[in-house]
Structure formats: structure tokens, C-alpha cells
Amino acid sequence: MTKNYPSNLTWEQWELIPELFPEAKLGCRPRTRGLYVVVNAILYLLCQGCTWRALPGDLPLWSTLYGYFRRWGKDRTWLLVHDKLYQWVRVAASREPSP
């Protein structure tokens, strides 16, 4: 269990995006950490501006997080997540989902 950091997604935000993340690769070890924890750990790193190796000890290993971060950057998962949350924020502000 990790601490609740200010950079964490709310459960309401998380419910919008879990289907955007790819399934675990076939033939690889099964995931031992939930994607919610992984995404929040990556968001912590991005918001705090720390190095991968300087992540707090209660978060998953930096090498695990870095692997996910790179993979999701290459397959454009981060772009899909950004667009979905961006639209959610606009609708919550009583605006059109896209300008």
C-alpha cells in the first residue's frame, strides 16, 4: 500500500481511463502491482520532478515504472489518457469536450 500523494488520480478520474492501458503481455510474468499504483507513481515522479532512482520506497521499483512509462509513451497510451482526462475536465467546467 502506498501513501496518498497530492499527484494521485482520484477514483473518479481513474474510472475513466483503465481501459486505455494495454493488457499484460502474453508469456511475461503476471503483474504484481495494480495499474492504479503504477500510474500514480509515474505521476508522482512527473509532478515532483525527481529522478527515477529517487522515488520514495513505498512506490514500485523505479525500473518497473520506467519500463511502463517508456512502453506507454511509444504506443501512445499517454496521449489517449491525456485526451480523455482533458475532455473530462472541460465537461466538468460546463464546456464542450473539445474546443
At 37-89, the pLDDT tens digits run 999 999 999 999 999 999 999 999 999 999 999 999 999 999 999 999 999 99
pTM of the model: 0.88
Please tell me the predicted confidence (pLDDT) of residue 1: 59
C-alpha to C-alpha distance for 84 and 20, rounded to whole angstroms: 9
Q: Do 82 and 9 meet the contact criterion of CB atoms below 8 Å apart?
A: no
The ranges assigned to domains in the chain are 11-92
What value does the mean pLDDT of the chain take? Answer: 92
At 19-37, the pLDDT tens digits run 999 988 888 888 888 999 9
C-alpha to C-alpha distance for 27 and 43, rounded to whole angstroms: 28
Helix then strand then coil, % of the chain, to nearest 5? 55, 0, 45
